[in-house]
Amino acid sequence: MKDKIDELNNKIQELEKQVEELSKKASERDEYHDKYLRTEAEFVNARKRMERDSRDFVKFANENIISELFPILDSFDSAMQQMENKQKESPFLDGLKMLQKKFHKVLEDNGLLVVDSLGEKFDPIKHEAVMKIESDKYKEGCVAEELRKGYMLNGKVLRPAMVKVSSGETKENEDKD
């Protein structure tokens, strides 16, 4: 009987050792699994970051060349405005208008948009105020006159619009009230 008890105690000790080893291995497995999950998450995040950076690079790759076109665009638009004021209709003017539309279309297709200004509430990110003027037409704090167009590329302001901001009604109209 004593031998049987000793044998059972030995088996119990052996089983306890096996349970302890299995517990250690389970703990190691859990640790490796956690490391695997963290590494996988880091990899997924790195891939997303690279994809985002790649998209941004493509989105803004044309930024420098488009910015260099602004003076040409301004001159062309100004010349067209002057010609339209002087001449009513001519095949030459019609051809230039078509060329101007194509030029603007190419820029739009590449993500360039004109900043809306006239009548809009002044936004220091989109607008550069050069002065305040009295205006019956526009509320105080709104853009009353645009001196130079502003442009955005894919939601990023490349050049703010140069504007005059309304200070409210003229003094003559205020006195009448």
Instruction: Let me know whether 97 and 126 are in one domain.
Output: no
Tell me the pLDDT band of 145, cut-offs 50, 70 and 90: very high
For 122-139, the three-class secondary structure string (H helix, E strand, C coil) is CCCCCEEEEEEECCCCCC
User: In sequence order, what are the beta bridge partners of 112?
Assistant: 153
| 120 SS3 class | coil
Region of residue 119 (phi > 0: left; psi between -120 and 50: alpha; otherwise: beta): left
Instruction: Let me know whether 94 and 124 are in one domain.
Output: no
Domain that holds residue 81: 62-110
Instruction: Let me know whether 5 and 35 are in one domain.
Output: yes
Q: Which helix (H) or strand (E) holds 109?
A: helix 91-109
pLDDT value of residue 173 = 55
Instruction: Let me know whether 101 and 118 are in one domain.
Output: no
pLDDT value of residue 150 = 96
Instruction: Let me know whether 101 and 67 are in one domain.
Output: yes
Tokens 């002044």 map to which residue? 122
pTM above 0.85, yes or no: no
Q: What is the pLDDT of residues 24-80, one digit of tens each?
A: 999 999 999 999 999 999 999 999 999 999 988 877 788 888 999 999 999 998 988
**131 touches 147 (CB < 8 A):** no
**139 touches 166 (CB < 8 A):** yes
Instruction: Let me know whether 142 and 157 are in one domain.
Output: yes
Instruction: Let me know whether 54 and 67 are in one domain.
Output: no
CATH of the domain at 177: 2.30.22.10
User: Which range scores top for mean pLDDT: 27-41, 84-98, 161-175?
Assistant: 27-41
Total domains in the chain come to 3
Rounded to 5 degrees, φ, ψ at 111 are 95, 5
Tell me the pLDDT band of 92, cut-offs 50, 70 and 90: confident
